[in-house]
Amino acid sequence: MAAPLTLLLIVAVTIRAVLFRSSLAELISERVEVVSPLNAWKRVVEGLALLDLGVSPYSGDVFHETPLMIYLFHFTVDYAEIVFMVSPYFVDCLSCLLASLDRAKIFRKQKYALESDRYPADCLELLRSPKEMFYIPLKVAMFYLLNPFTILSCVAKSTCGLNNAIIALFIFCTLKGSALLSGILLALATYQSIYPLTLFAPALLFFLQRLYIPVNLRRSSFWCFTLQYAFIYVGSLVVITGLSFFLLGSWDFIPSVYGFIFSVPDLTPNIGLFWYFFAEMFEHFRLFFICVFQINVFFYTIPLSIKLKEHPVFLIFMQIAIISIFKSYPTVGDVALYMAFLPAWSHLYRFLRNIFLVSCVLLACSALFPVLWHLWIYAGSANSNFYYAITLLFNFGQTFLIIRPLTRRRKHPGGFDNEVSCFKSSVWKSSLKS
């Protein structure tokens, strides 16, 4: 495992280093699919330049990063390339580790279940062999490091990579079982962009499962732990926000960062659904549709938590995917984050009917994005509808990509790690036979 992983790391570093030094770096950092007004490097530099001029970076509408980012980059702006090179490895190593953790846990469970002969016959094909599971962390690492989306995001020096690193750290701490660190990191991730707020529920469910506390609203132990975790989370959030206030001495950053994320004033095209919708919106309905779209991101948390309460890791994946698709300024870096976790559920691939179609759609869209952008903006022979159509198709493909594993899990009661439901189904079958 160590040798292939090292080789993978070397290849990834080489690719990124080559691209950093080439002329493509500037081209990539201007692409709207890779950077958004929230995380473009050009805007970070602009914010720092404004700070040097003595003007608050938040007085204009060009800088939408949090004050801690200013603090970080104030010292590392000359070493920016190294910072951005390191963050994907962070994510990658962490996802590797979490996959291996997960794998160990699952393996143990499966071993016990096999020994107690609790799996019915037709569940066997869903079990994963140790050999398969051995390579999952490597596959996860490969999926993240060699994903063109990640490479583009890294070369463009988009702060999306840093946000991904924080989320990966959070997942790692959650799986390791450290509630304190998990709460703090979740607060940091929420502070960076509001949407990781929805990851509170799966993290909570994981800890409850780990500590063998049943999810029962009438039990006091449930409320005890929930309140503890919530306290850690909210407390860290307050502390971080307070720190930001003292950095620049004003609350200007709140409307500039969070107000910007929620009210979507900037209509720069990106790969998401928001920009054209609000460019063509009737003024009368603007507030209504902004509320609808933002609620859409947070809305799936409760139902998904109820249905997937026994599979918090899968729930985390679903939440991250939903955030990446429906957030207000998505970029390919966000897409790359949830794509990295797909190999962890590779045993479900056998049952995915449309995997070829979905991957073709995503590949075609990724290829067409720059072409139609050029035709609209530079050649002038196409118009905004062409780019918008590809945006729609891309999001459609993404939706199908994440719905399918969920479908597979629901339709096959013997889904992995689900020995309880598998047991149920075996009980069913035996009752029918008799």
Binding of another protein at residue 428 (CB under 8 A)? yes
Give the residue with the Cβ less far from another protein, 67 or 413. Answer: 413
How far is Cα of residue 305 from the mean position of the Cα atoms in its chain? Answer: 17
Give the residue with the Cβ less far from another protein, 141 or 304. Answer: 304
Near another protein by CB under 8 A: residue from 22, 76, 268, 359:
268
In b/e form, how buried is each residue of 254-277, taking b as 16+ CB within 10 angstroms?
A: eebbbebbeebebeebbbbbbbbb
Q: Which tokens in the block code for residue 11? A: 């290849």
Binding of another protein at residue 129 (CB under 8 A)? no
Binding of another protein at residue 49 (CB under 8 A)? yes
**One-letter amino acid of 159:** T
Binding of another protein at residue 283 (CB under 8 A)? yes
Cα distance between residue 232 and residue 187, in whole Å = 9
Interacting positions 50-69 with another protein (CB under 8 A): 50, 53, 55, 59-62
Q: How many helices (H) and strands (E) in the chain?
A: 22, 0
Evaluate whether 232 touches 180 at the Cβ level (below 8 Å): yes
We find the least distance from the C-beta atom of residue 395 to another protein, in angstroms, to be 6
Give the residue with the Cβ less far from another protein, 150 or 331. Answer: 331
- Please count the other Cβ atoms lying within 10 Å of the Cβ belonging to residue 345: 20
We find the least distance from the C-beta atom of residue 18 to another protein, in angstroms, to be 25
**Cα 306-175-223 angle, rounded to 5 deg:** 45
Residues in contact with another protein, total (CB under 8 A)? 60
Q: Site mask, another protein, residues 382-401, x = CB under 8 A? A: -xxx--x---x--xx--x--
In b/e form, how buried is each residue of 365-375, taking b as 16+ CB within 10 angstroms?
A: bbebbeebbeb
Give the residue with the Cβ less far from another protein, 246 or 282. Answer: 282
We find the least distance from the C-beta atom of residue 231 to another protein, in angstroms, to be 30
Give the residue with the Cβ less far from another protein, 89 or 275. Answer: 275
Cα distance between residue 189 and residue 170, in whole Å = 8
How far is Cα of residue 203 from the mean position of the Cα atoms in its chain? Answer: 14
We find the least distance from the C-beta atom of residue 29 to another protein, in angstroms, to be 12
Binding site for another protein (CB under 8 A): 30, 32, 42, 45-46, 48-50, 53, 55, 59-62, 265-269, 273, 275-283, 293, 296, 300, 303-304, 306-307, 325-326, 376-378, 380, 383-385, 388, 392, 395-396, 399, 403, 406-407, 410-411, 413, 425, 428-429, 432
